[in-house]
């Protein structure tokens, strides 16, 4: 279990609750603030390991909160905002933010960013890196990075999570429903299983034919399997 404490700062209570669920599922503890003044107060009181900080906040905006934190602390800060302009990113980084996530985002991606930033800062040094390595293939779920034949391939989070799940259980068959539940979670458990087929097709476009030591196979009328020959 992780012992890091995450301060979530957003005036949207639904976003806070969603992030809290995913973050605590990873073993972290959370504290929530819904405005800038409360964020500064809780930061001083709770001494979190990392801050998820929205920019558009009542009372004090995210920039002001970031400035206040940086007066006394080098605590890692990940900015959360609906703004994607280069100016906002540059300003956030100049003020001392460590990372920047644009809304709408996937909660699992935010959790991956938290892990990466904590690891870089040394606040979570004992955490195990989630990575599977095969011939000419590296799937890293800690950094959300796919390398094929030594090159980093831009890959959407769900494709990478699906490939990681299959590759981390080599030679095991998964049905589409199992993959929906285990990768997409309870929200999509009763979803359309064709979602899996679409994602598998896109994954194959990125990795197929790269090595003869492994293969992402379709098991007719059952599901999918990551076969290895090593």
Helix (H) or strand (E) holding 40: helix 36-46
DSSP symbol at 180: I
Phi (first) and psi of residue 62, to 5 degrees: -60, -35
pLDDT, one tens digit per residue, over 63-105 is 899 999 988 888 999 988 776 665 666 666 677 788 888 888 8
State both tokens at 127.
Answer: 């955490």
Domain ranges of the chain: 5-121, 131-228
What's the predicted TM-score (pTM) here? 0.55
pLDDT band for position 192 (50/70/90)? Answer: low
Report how far residue 57's alpha carbon sits from residue 96's, in angstroms, rounded to the nearest whole number: 18
Supply the pLDDT for residue 209. Answer: 92
CATH of domain 131-228: 1.10.10.10
pLDDT, one tens digit per residue, over 130-179 is 889 999 999 998 788 899 999 999 888 889 989 999 999 999 999 988 88
Question: Could you tell me which of 208, 129, 183 has the C-alpha nearest to residue 226?
Answer: 208
State both tokens at 90.
Answer: 């540059």
Query: Among 12-26, 85-99, 106-120, whose mean pLDDT is lowest?
Result: 85-99
Share of the chain above pLDDT 70, in %: 86
Label residue 136 exposed, middle or buried (CB < 10 Å: 0-12, 13-18, 19+).
middle
Report how far residue 146's alpha carbon sits from residue 35's, in angstroms, rounded to the nearest whole number: 37
Supply the pLDDT for residue 186. Answer: 47
Q: Tokens 């001494």 sit at which residue? A: 47
Phi (first) and psi of residue 21, to 5 degrees: -60, -45
Share of the chain above pLDDT 90, in %: 51
Report how far residue 137's alpha carbon sits from residue 70's, in angstroms, rounded to the nearest whole number: 40
CB 205 within 8 A of CB 154: no
One of 3.40.50.720, 3.40.50.2300, 2.40.30.270, 1.25.40.10 is the CATH number of 5-121, namely: 3.40.50.2300
Supply the pLDDT for residue 118. Answer: 85
Supply the pLDDT for residue 4. Answer: 87
The larger pLDDT score, comparing residue 93 to residue 40, is at: 40
**3-state DSSP: the chain helix, strand, coil percent, rounded to 5?**
40, 25, 35
């Amino acid at each position: 279990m992780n012992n890091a404490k995450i301060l979530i700062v957003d005036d949207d209570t639904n976003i806070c609750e969603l992030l809290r669920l995913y973050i605590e599922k990873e073993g972290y503890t959370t504290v929530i603030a819904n405005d800038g003044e409360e964020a500064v107060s809780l930061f001083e009181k709770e001494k979190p390991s990392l801050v998820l900080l929205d920019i558009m906040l009542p009372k004090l905006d995210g920039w002001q909160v970031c400035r206040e934190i940086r007066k006394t602390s080098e605590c890692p800060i990940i900015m959360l905002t609906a703004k994607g302009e280069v100016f906002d990113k540059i300003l956030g980084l100049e003020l001392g933010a460590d990372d920047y996530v644009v809304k709408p985002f996937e909660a699992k991606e935010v959790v991956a960013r938290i892990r990466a930033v904590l690891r870089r800062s040394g606040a979570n040094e004992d955490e195990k890196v989630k990575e599977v390595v095969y011939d000419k293939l590296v799937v890293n779920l800690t950094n959300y990075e796919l390398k094929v034949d030594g090159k980093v391939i831009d890959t959407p989070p769900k494709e990478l999570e699906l490939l990681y799940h299959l590759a981390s259980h080599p030679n095991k068959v998964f049905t589409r429903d199992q993959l929906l539940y285990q990768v997409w979670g309870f929200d999509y458990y009763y979803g359309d299983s064709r979602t899996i087929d679409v994602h598998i097709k896109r994954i194959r476009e990125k990795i197929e034919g790269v090595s003869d030591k492994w293969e992402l196979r379709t098991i007719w009328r059952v599901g999918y399997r990551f076969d290895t020959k090593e």
